[in-house]
Structure 1
């Protein structure tokens, strides 16, 4: 191989190495320039995070005060809601309306024909079943129609007492959004007043007024939604329990021997209606009654 041919082979390799060295030099220089700048940016970001104030997480009491004066009646409604739900859940339970031991004892007394004892037992025990049975027993001497009318009246009385309490849930469900809306209106008034006096230069005051609007509205809806849910649920629960109570009491007076109980006074109620005082006594003539004209 001659010198010319050797130089022709090595010349392209030399050029390639030169270009590669130049690229490596430029890449290394750029990394040396970019690395300090990136490090400075990270340090500046870290300092900014350190200097930035940490967000304060609001507590429940902070939100209560932020809602304004309407939070006090809304809180009262929430307490009443919890009390009503707890009370009505117990009242609409068929096991409380007609306890098994009460039903069994009265059934045994009915089988024995001891209606006076059944009346006394119902009088001394407090339950819807005992109240309805006691009232019905006091009318057995007046016939089947009187007993059925007494049963119907007393069942309606029990139903109306519990239904009235359930209706209070609907009242709470309607009133709490209105109370929250009142807080919304007053909060918006404060917001516009703040905007008119200080303008947009102090956004913290404006945000506080808007926060009052949102908290008051949300609190009213937060109470109203479960109030309506439990209103319909407990109303349906009461209807089912009343049907079961009616079946249990009606079974007691089915096939009642009214013929043997005619004019019997089982209960202890006092009768106020007496024979008119102008009716003649036994063997005595009737005394004329003068009617003032």
Structure 2
């Protein structure tokens, strides 16, 4: 959402700031160009970093579900013994489902985070080209 709604305004603001610059060949102008590119690309990279962090947490949340499910299995084993497989099945189900869900979300999240990282790189290059051509 950031790339679709907020980033175009930020990019347009950076281009307008660069267009106001009369001198574009001095060391100071090159520093301004580098700062504009860095600030806009940093804002996109921050969004990607947040998504990557959340993707990395998904397997851990699934593992937490696994632990709670296994506690349920051990509770059933303590009450009814090891011979009642039907009673243990619900705990195994509660242990397996969160793990699977966490892994599915993490794997699909990796795909989307790579796509967003590529988009951020492409947007940075486009901004570098636009500021270089103005």
TM bucket, shorter chain: 0.7 to 0.9
Runs of 5+ consecutive residues of structure 1 not aligned to the other structure: 1-86, 98-125, 253-293
1:193 is aligned to 2:75: yes
Runs of 5+ consecutive residues of structure 2 not aligned to the other structure: none
1:213 is aligned to 2:69: no
Instruction: Kindly report which structure 2 residues correspond to 1:24-173, keeping only aligned pairs within 5 A, or say none.
Output: 87=1, 90=4, 97=8, 126-128=9-11, 130-140=12-22, 144-173=26-55
Distance in 1 (CA, whole Å) between partners of 2:117 and 2:24 is 34
Q: CA deviation at 1:192?
A: 1.3
> Which residue matches 1:58?
none
> Which residue matches 1:232?
114
Bigger CA radius of gyration: 1
> Which residue matches 1:84?
none
* 8 A contact 1:137–1:147 mirrored in 2: no
Work out which structure has the larger RCO, using CA pairs closer than 8 Å and 6 or more positions apart in sequence.
2
* 8 A contact 1:88–1:234 mirrored in 2: no
Aligned length: 134
Q: CA deviation at 1:170?
A: 1.0
Structure 1 or 2: larger helix share?
A: 2
Cα distance change, pair 202–142 in 1 and its aligned pair in 2 (3 A):
closer
Distance in 1 (CA, whole Å) between partners of 2:129 and 2:26 is 17
User: Tell me, what secondary structure is at the counterpart of 1:140?
Assistant: coil
